[in-house]
Structure 1
Amino acid sequence: MLSAYAFEFSCGDPVYKPDLNENSNRAVPFSWPWQVSLQAKKGISYSHMCGGALIDPIWIVTAGKCVNEGMKYRVVLGKYDLTLTEGSEQYIEPVKMISHPMFNPKCINCGFDLALLKLSWPVVFTDKIRLTCLPGAGEQLPDNYTCVVTGWGKLNAKGPKPRKLQQALLPAVEHDLCSRSDWLGTNVMDTMICVGGYSKTACEGDPGSPLNCFGSDGRWYVNGVGSFTGSVPCNTARKPSVYTRMSAYNSWINDVSRFLSSK
């Protein structure tokens, strides 16, 4: 069970509202306040490696492939421009990193690409650092339901990875369609969410970053966590980006957080 005090603050309710114009790929600064930068230490400095989402004052969700026990990490919250010190950051090292026990880093499309990071201490909530909401167990997105992918990965094929947080509005693709042979076929499981593929995708995206979907209650939910984009060029028709479906793992998330929060 996630921390009891997590819900003293409303999840999925950013102070700075996102720009949902589908032609605007640069996010409004701090409009996705649960987005984190997972950074790995290389030499004496840290570099952005993956995204993640704050689901509790001491818990981050990211992709399983983003976690390597042999590396030293820090989680950076309250971040927009990776090249600047913005004054809003909180830097916290994880004390536990738990990949799903069924995750196989040599077979990303086999599923279970999910990990939880327990922070050394609870975050301090600010106008730039907030929680996202978790979807209900088993929840499925309707076909063509538009969500927002965020991260510091490429959202188009040209140029270097961006320094400022990017976003893209992309429609979900129902599993029956995405698993057809002319789409992704057997490479996609029902514990995954396909997004894009009609006209554009998340390109390289940002592993571990959230798929943000607006709920009927007016709050944002992390319905997916960035998993893989395949080996095809960006924006190839019928080759969507793939996210781990969070609602397939509610029990595992609650079991891990309940057990480790008591330690």
Structure 2
Amino acid sequence: HLFSQKRLYSIGNRKATGTKMNESYRVVISGPKHCKRGRCGRGECVLTSTPPFYECKCKEPFQPPRCRHFSLCEPNPCKNGGKCIKDGTDFDCLCPTGYRGRFCHVGPNDCYVDDGESYRGNVSETDDRHECLYWNSHFILENGADPFNSFEDKDGLGPHNFCRNPDGDEMPWCFFRQGRRLSWDYCDVTECLTPTGQQFATCGQPQPKKIVTRIFGGLKVPPGAAPWQVSLQMRSKNSNNPFRHTCGGVLIESCWVLTAGHCIVQMKDMQVVVGGLSLNMEDSTEQTLKVEEAILHENYRESPAAVYNDIALLRLKGTDGVCANETQFVKTACLPNAQLPDGMECTISGWGATEDSQFGSNHLLEANVMLISQEKCTEPEVYGRVLTSSMFCAGHLQGGVDSCQGDSGGPLTCNQNNVKVIYGLVSWGDQCGRKNKPGVYTRVTHFLDWIKSKTQAASP
């Protein structure tokens, strides 16, 4: 594999030269033929998954499409308001305050935390000012991995030349070229300073580790992809019995979890587990927190047909206002600020029943569902008049993909303004995955004032 090959580059020399990689991974498409023929002039030939299966990435000031003619400062290559200054047959970018990099493309908040595995910034130079190669560069891949399996990941590696740390090294790095030699080096990227009290400063931005596969009709969740997912667990009051998973929930602040009202059971000890994926084993990434108080909505009501105002807040036990600690695997989801359009695709997650497991899955699962219009969902053959404005439907009217028992209280998250918002809580439905019986969710936008009043009035 490409990154294990990186490890073989002359141990002890961090600017060591690469060896040839396994020929069996060669990509048999027309892109490499074009790249080998030197079609890209003063540029880098990269492989793509669409015809003509290659693209020229020109070295400034050479211009696309073939990188053979150059133009100084027209168009301006400098980003973020940088000023292009001609210097003979080359140019320099005069960057505004706070920006750096050859093209002023690195912003003031561009930094990495821990070992930089979650780094998604724009630094594209090594610490010795070598320009990074694109991860889908023909030069890297001609004897390496299949780019259409390993490199088309928009959240990490991809068709770009930004520094990343995909193999657990000590900080972000990249490949660069020295003549015909492939080398790698650490990048000119700074480590973030984490001021005290700045945890959970952002919400709704997952940092998944890697993709895995095959809620009802769902897929296994990659580590870090649903970092706000909570397992609500209960046991008999003051007993020594083991805690058992009862419902899902969603972390919205360090000390606050949102869940369904029907998940709250009186005279029970409750705890939540965040950061974990498996119910049958303890993950090293998980955090377990006691529930200090459960706040059920005052107008919560059950009927034979539906559950109304199905929402509750859990106040967690912590120290000095800190309960859950933010990590790559533990983050908050944002609260929505507006209604989202019908037909939008969103994600549900939980440990509910699957085709293979009537009583739930031990591994967290996720599935995509569509927001269904209120008009459609209140039709007689769907749910009729039992549906109120505090609920909505999501799923697929033909059935097949749905949330099921065990997922109650878990999140339905959607993209809004480039972050993940908790738009719904798994509430109720007519069995699992039935035609014309999609899942019914608590409409979180209906309860924003209630959530705000409770969390502000009872700060831990």
TM-score (norm 1): 0.88
- Alignment partner, residue 55 of structure 2: none
- Alignment partner, residue 296 of structure 2: 99
Q: Deviations over 1:78-125 (max 9, x none)?
A: 110111111111111111100100002456724200000000012111
> 2:221 aligns to what SS in structure 1?
coil
Map 1:128-207; keep pairs closer than 5 Å: 128-136=329-337, 139-156=338-355, 159-199=358-398, 200-205=400-405, 206-207=407-408
> 2:220 aligns to what SS in structure 1?
coil
Map 1:1-263; keep pairs closer than 5 Å: 8-16=200-208, 25-42=219-236, 44-106=241-303, 109-121=306-318, 122-136=323-337, 139-156=338-355, 159-199=358-398, 200-205=400-405, 206-215=407-416, 217-230=417-430, 232=431, 234-261=432-459
Q: How far is 1:29 from its partner?
A: 2.2
The answer on whether the counterparts of 2:221 and 2:366 sit within 8 Å (CA) in structure 1 is: yes
Q: 1:157 to 1:177 in 2, by over 3 A?
A: farther
User: Equivalents in 1 of 2:377, 2:281: separation in Å?
Assistant: 39
Matched to 1:41, the amino acid is R
The answer on whether the counterparts of 1:148 and 1:167 sit within 8 Å (CA) in structure 2 is: yes
User: Equivalents in 2 of 1:110, 1:49: separation in Å?
Assistant: 18
Unaligned runs of 5+ in 2: 1-196
The answer on whether the counterparts of 1:20 and 1:169 sit within 8 Å (CA) in structure 2 is: no
Matched to 2:251, the amino acid is L
Higher relative contact order (CA 8 A, sep 6+): 1
> 2:453 aligns to what SS in structure 1?
helix
Q: Which moved more, 1:156-165 or 1:42-51?
A: 156-165
Q: How far is 1:190 from its partner?
A: 1.4
Q: 1:245 to 1:19 in 2, by over 3 A?
A: farther
Q: 1:157 to 1:89 in 2, by over 3 A?
A: closer
User: Equivalents in 2 of 1:151, 1:203: separation in Å?
Assistant: 8
Q: 1:8 to 1:211 in 2, by over 3 A?
A: closer
Q: How far is 1:157 from its partner?
A: 7.1
Matched to 1:173, the amino acid is I
TM-score (norm 2): 0.52
Matched to 1:240, the amino acid is P
Q: Which moved more, 1:24-33 or 1:50-59?
A: 24-33
User: Equivalents in 1 of 2:223, 2:350: separation in Å?
Assistant: 12
The answer on whether the counterparts of 2:305 and 2:386 sit within 8 Å (CA) in structure 1 is: no
Q: Deviations over 1:199-231 (max 9, x none)?
A: 33414151000001111x21101000110022x
Q: Name the count of aligned residue pairs.
A: 253
| Larger Rg over CA atoms | 2
User: Equivalents in 2 of 1:146, 1:92: separation in Å?
Assistant: 32
Unaligned runs of 5+ in 1: none
Matched to 1:79, the amino acid is G
Q: How far is 1:156 from its partner?
A: 3.8
Matched to 1:32, the amino acid is A
